[in-house]
Amino acid sequence: MKPERARLRGLPAMDALLTHDAAQELIKQHSRSLVVAALRAELAAARQVILAGQEVELAPAAIIQRAAEDLLRQQQPSLRPVINATGVIIHTNLGRAPLSDAANVAMRAAAADYSTLEFDLQSGERGSRLDHAADMLRDIAGAEAALVVNNNAAALVLILSALARDKEVIISRGQLVEIGGGFRIPAIMQQSGADLVEVGTTNRTRIDDFADALTERTALLLRVHSSNFKQIGFVHQPDLPALVSLAHERDLLAVDDLGSGALIDTAQFGLEQEPTVQASLAAGVDLVCFSGDKLLGGPQAGLILGRAEAVGQLKAHPLARALRVDKLTYAALLATLEHYRRDEALARIPVWQMISRPLDDIADTAHRWAKVSGGNVIKGASTIGGGSLPGATLPTWLLALDSANPQALKTALRRADPPIIARIAGGRVLLDPRTVLAGQESDLARVLAGVDCA
């Protein structure tokens, strides 16, 4: 008999496992069916290992222990908090913008209690959920009217469906962008039933290109912020005021998809100037749209600001109902916008706290980490991410961990509780304090003290 065959016989039977005290204890914690399934999976895995000629512990206690660990893992929700030590501030895969404390409190209250979502306390009559953010956005950005939808992609779909269906939309070839995750501007336009009219060339488009393309079917002129890529060299795009005046001469609409939608000037942090919402509105666009969870630093949402008449047409469109946001989003968004209204965005909104975080403070943190984990503190660069300011970096200090097997160390950090997401460069595992929230530092230090950097 082959040695594997003999060892397979050493596998305990399910019944024997189930009568074991440890298994009985597990059944109390979980349920009989879950424990049976976990044990069955462990037995199957052990069989595979034996057939592959490798070693595995076959004692009932060991098998039950492995099943118990599996059951614990299964209990973890698949959507759970992680520590972002990548230095990418608006990290789309890690949930983009973390919310401010005030936004969290507001969301909790909206979730736990009844609220004035569609109720006017003054009159005691039915109110509109669409009004909640409008006053605030008028105050902050100087918009006549505003509407909030599910995300910026939805904002674009609604704008084009309501205002340009079966009509022509003119856009520069240099702005027919793919945002990420397969989201492409031409596909969105097609979905909305608008006819795309591309003008100019990849690198250069002039205002005359737009003027030459006007027909009686033209509905609007669209500018899309290139967000996640940069053109340099022999390039030109018409400026927004020129686009607006051409549109208005012909009674057409000018629409600006700003993408990240900064309300604060990024140049004060040594970054390039990200176009602001206020600048778009001041240029006279009829509508500007942007994301709630990029540089605004709020929840996922698509914000549409602009002239009352155009916004009114959007509100009246059936898609507005399909794309509306829930009360949790409003709660978080209103609390986030309140930080702007009070001029405290830099101090209170995590994305802006990270962007404006003093370098000395980052260095102190990196040195604190180095004390518990070993490793060196080195110079590095953080990025904005989320399709904002491509190529722009902020100087930072990194904890660099040397390891014979950096990939294994990175994986160990990712499997820790809470998971720590780091990156590898130059053969070392790098952790950037800039994107680690203050409340996560003790967890991070505990994990770092425990991981084996060998």
Q: Which residue is nearest to ligand PLP (CB)?
A: 259
For the bound state, the minimum distance from the C-beta of residue 222 to ligand PLP, rounded and expressed in Å, comes to 11
Cα-to-chain-centroid distance, residue 56: 42
Task: State which of residues 200, 387, 406, 433 lies at the interface with ligand PLP (CB under 6 A).
Answer: 387
Min separation Cβ 437 and ligand PLP, Å: 22
- 225 interacts with ligand PLP by CB under 6 A: yes
Q: Does 224 bind ligand PLP (CB under 6 A)?
A: yes
Does residue 303 bind ligand PLP (CB under 6 A)?
Answer: no
Within 262-343, residue ranges assigned H as helices are 277-282, 308-316, 318-322, 327-341
β-bridge pairing 178-180 and 183-184: antiparallel
Closest distance of CB 321 from ligand PLP, Å: 18
**What is the C-alpha to C-alpha distance for residues 195 and 192, in angstroms, rounded to an integer?**
9
Say whether residue 174 binds ligand PLP (CB under 6 A).
Answer: no
Binding-site size for ligand PLP (CB under 6 A) equals 14
Which residue among 134, 137, 170, 179 contacts ligand PLP (CB under 6 A)? 179
357 binds ligand PLP (CB under 6 A): no
Which is nearer to ligand PLP, 38 or 220 (by Cβ)?
Answer: 220
| Whole-angstrom distance, CA of residue 297 vs CA of residue 345 | 9
By beta-carbon proximity to ligand PLP, the closer residue of 225 and 428 is: 225
CB of 31 to ligand PLP, least distance (A): 40
Distance of closest approach, residue 257 Cβ to ligand PLP, in angstroms: 5
CA Rg value for the chain: 28
Output the smallest distance, CB 297 to ligand PLP, in A.
Answer: 13
Q: Applying CB under 6 A, does 151 fall inside the site for ligand PLP?
A: yes
Residues contacting 326, CB < 8 A, separation 6+: none
Spatial neighbors of 27 by CB under 8 A, at least 6 apart, are: 18, 35
Residue whose C-alpha is closest to residue 394's, from 295, 270, 273, 276: 270
Of 25-33, 42-50, 257-265, 323-331, which part binds ligand PLP (CB under 6 A)? 257-265
Choose one: 17-25, 255-263, 345-353, 399-407; the region binding ligand PLP (CB under 6 A).
255-263
Element (H, E) at 187: helix 185-191
Q: Select the span of 46-54, 222-230, 318-326, 394-402 touching ligand PLP (CB under 6 A).
A: 222-230
d(CA 324, CA 151): 9
256 belongs to the binding site for ligand PLP (CB under 6 A): no
Residue 150 or residue 396: which is nearer to ligand PLP going by CB? 150
Q: Which stretch binds ligand PLP (CB under 6 A): 146-154, 166-174, 208-216, 334-342?
A: 146-154
Our CB check for ligand PLP shows the closer of 283 and 447 to be: 283
Give the burial class of 206: count Cβ atoms within 10 A of its Cβ; 0-12 exposed, 13-18 middle, 19 or more buried.
middle
Residue length of the chain = 454
Residue 421 identity: I
3-state secondary structure (DSSP) of residue 62: helix
Q: Which is nearer to ligand PLP, 119 or 183 (CB)?
A: 183
According to CB under 6 A, which one of 86, 100, 152, 365 is a site residue for ligand PLP? 152
Q: What whole-number distance in Å separates Cα of residue 66 and Cα of residue 39?
A: 8
**CB of 103 closer than 8 Å to CB of 114:** no
Task: Name which position in 87, 200, 238, 259 contacts ligand PLP (CB under 6 A).
Answer: 259
Our finding on whether 302 is near ligand PLP (CB under 6 A) is yes
d(CA 222, CA 247): 10
- The string of DSSP codes covering 392-436 is -EEEEEEEEE--S-HHHHHHHHHHSSS-EE-EEETTEEEE-GGGS
Residue 153 tokens, joined: 């992609």
CA 320 to chain centre: 23
Is 385 a binder of ligand PLP (CB under 6 A)?
no
Nearer to ligand PLP (CB atom), residue 257 or residue 286: 257
Q: Applying CB under 6 A, which part among 57-65, 68-76, 145-153, 355-363 lies near ligand PLP?
A: 145-153
434 binds ligand PLP (CB under 6 A): no
- Residues that bind ligand PLP in the complex, under the rule CB under 6 A: 151-153, 179, 183, 224-225, 227, 257, 259-260, 291, 302, 387
